[in-house]
Each structure stands twice: as C-alpha cells, then as structure tokens.
Copies of this chain bind each other. A is one copy, B any other.
Amino acid sequence: MALEIERRFLVRKDVRHLCRDGVRIVQGYLPSDGTSTVRVRIAGDRATLTIKSLKRGACREEIEHPLSLDFARRLLLHSCDGRVIDKTRYRHCRDGLCWEIDVFHGENTGLIIAEVELEDPDQTVPLPDWIGAEVTTLRAYGNSSLSRAPIQRWSASAAA
C-alpha cells in the first residue's frame, strides 16, 4: 500500500479564477467494516477502486485499482447505497506545491476544500491567503462522511 500524507483546508472565497483543468469527479463508498473505506471514483474518463485505511493525523495508507467506466458506473448505482459525492476538482500550483481544490455539488454545494499532498507530515506548508480553517483531522469533512451526511443536512448545532 502507498502512504498518503495530505492536509485539508476550507477555502474562504471562490478561487476558480486561479485554477486550471477542472475535472468532474463522481465517487461513492461501498459499505465496509469500519477499519477502511472502499471508494469507487470516476474522474473524467478514468475509473478506480481504492481501499483507504483510517487516518492517523494527516496520514493513511491507500491502494488503488483501475476499473472500466461501465463497471464503475454500475458499482456507483447499485452498491454505494446512495453515498455518492459529486465535485469538480481544480489544480493550482504555487510555492512548489500543487493544491487540489474541490468544489462540491449536490447536497454539499457551498463547500470548497483545498487539499495538498505532502512527502512528510511535518513539512512546512506556505498557506495562500484564501485558505481558511484546517480540517485535516475533522472526520465530518472527509469525503466518506460527506457522502453519508452532506452539509445541507447538518443541523445548526451539528455545524457549529
């Protein structure tokens, strides 16, 4: 398995004018035993199945397998129990780092999250001025959680 080290932040304003290469991503989650997630993703014309371990801080292990688009669509339709995320991913590279900025659609409309992959969890990350609060370890902002409990279903107390 590969080690993924990733920090995640809310985005304070629309930064799509800074970005290139928006790719529509539809991804869903198969039920699992709670020690890992199994994600089906269609990103543009590429489909994958990915097993991800639970996070430890900014780190988790993952292993990915290619799927045909047809097979991935069937899994999304029939095996994810409606737990599907729809978002557009933009890329913005600066200061030697490439940010991936996810603009969510559907019941997560209004949410924008910027992610940056690192080589070391203690690596210094220069934060652009449009970066808001860090959500790396906040489970509610993880894609798997957002597929089950999208932000438009958060109550005022839960969102506080």
Contacts and interface: CB of A to CB of B under 8 A. Distances in A.
Interface in A69-107: 70-71, 74-75, 78-79, 81
Interface of A is mostly: mixed
Interface stretch (A32-40, A118-126, A128-136): A32-40
A136 to B, nearest CB: 23
Interface residues of A, number: 20
Chain copies in the assembled complex: 2
Contact of A30 (B35, B36, B38): B38
Contacts of A36: 78-79
A78 B30 contact: no
Interface stretch (A6-14, A15-23, A60-68): A60-68
B31 A78 contact: no
Contact of A33 (B67, B68, B70, B79): B79
Contacts of A51: 71, 74-75, 78-79
A38 B72 CA distance: 12
Interface in A28-52: 30-33, 35-36, 38, 49, 51
Interface of A: 30-33, 35-36, 38, 49, 51, 63, 65, 67-68, 70-71, 74-75, 78-79, 81
Given A51-B75, A65-B67, 9 more contacts: A30-B31, A30-B79, A31-B32, A32-B79, A36-B78, A38-B75, A38-B79, A51-B79, A63-B71
